[in-house]
Amino acid sequence: MTIRVLIADDEALLRMAFSMILEAQPDLTPIAEAEDGATAVRLTTELRPDVVLMDVRMPGTDGIEATRQIIRTCPRTKVLILTTFDLDEYAFAGLKAGASGFLLKNARPEDLLTAIRTVAEGDAVVSPRVTHRLLEKLRPHIPDATTTARDERLSALSARERQVLVQVASGLSNAEIATTLRLAEATVKSHLGRILHKLDLRDRIQAVIFAYETRLVHPA
């Protein structure tokens, strides 16, 4: 199945570069380009791409607001935030707006391609470092163990699924979890898919928050 991608960036050369990288892949197709957030929202509504590569800093409607509008009107479309700046405010705002991932523009082409395929499959792409920084922000708001009721949804998880969820909450990637638990990476992805389904969670980030809120894992 071909993954249809919309590229939103105010720099024409970057749009061209991303498009050329995608066109070289048999399973990825760039279908449109947008130079600002408002155009990205309009084209997404018209074309319904599978993934939007979204720059943060664009004239007019910025990438964060465009992401928020796209997720609200086209919930099946996944948004992958791309930025030159490794700042918490961009990562957290993008994830809060509904983005499925956060990637720096200086990432290797193979990492970009992997990220697009990952979010298209319904998973999230957030580096362990960003995950840990997100948890640092959340820590003051996590209820104390003595006042937190164990979420009944945890009982729906198998022992292995709980193990996988703990590793996800620790910020490990699927490949790292596979190595740690001595599983195939495809098996880890299957477990994660079942975890999200059973817990009625949208993505990896919500799974991390759930694990901490239910005290399945504890802040360091």
Domains and CATH numbers, the chain: 3-125 (3.40.50.2300), 136-213 (1.10.10.10)
Position 25, amino acid: Q
pLDDT band at residue 183 using 50, 70 and 90 as cut-offs = very high
pLDDT at 145: 45
Residue given tokens 């948890």 in the structure block: 135
Say how far apart CA 18 and CA 85 lie, in whole Å. 18
pTM: 0.68
pLDDT at 5: 97
Say how far apart CA 101 and CA 108 lie, in whole Å. 15
Residue given tokens 């004239």 in the structure block: 59
Q: What is the DSSP string of 167-200?
A: HHHTT--HHHHHHHHT--HHHHHHHHHHHHHHHT
pLDDT at 129: 58
Say how far apart CA 187 and CA 192 lie, in whole Å. 9
What percent of the chain has pLDDT above 90? 45
pLDDT tens string 157-174: 999 999 999 998 877 888
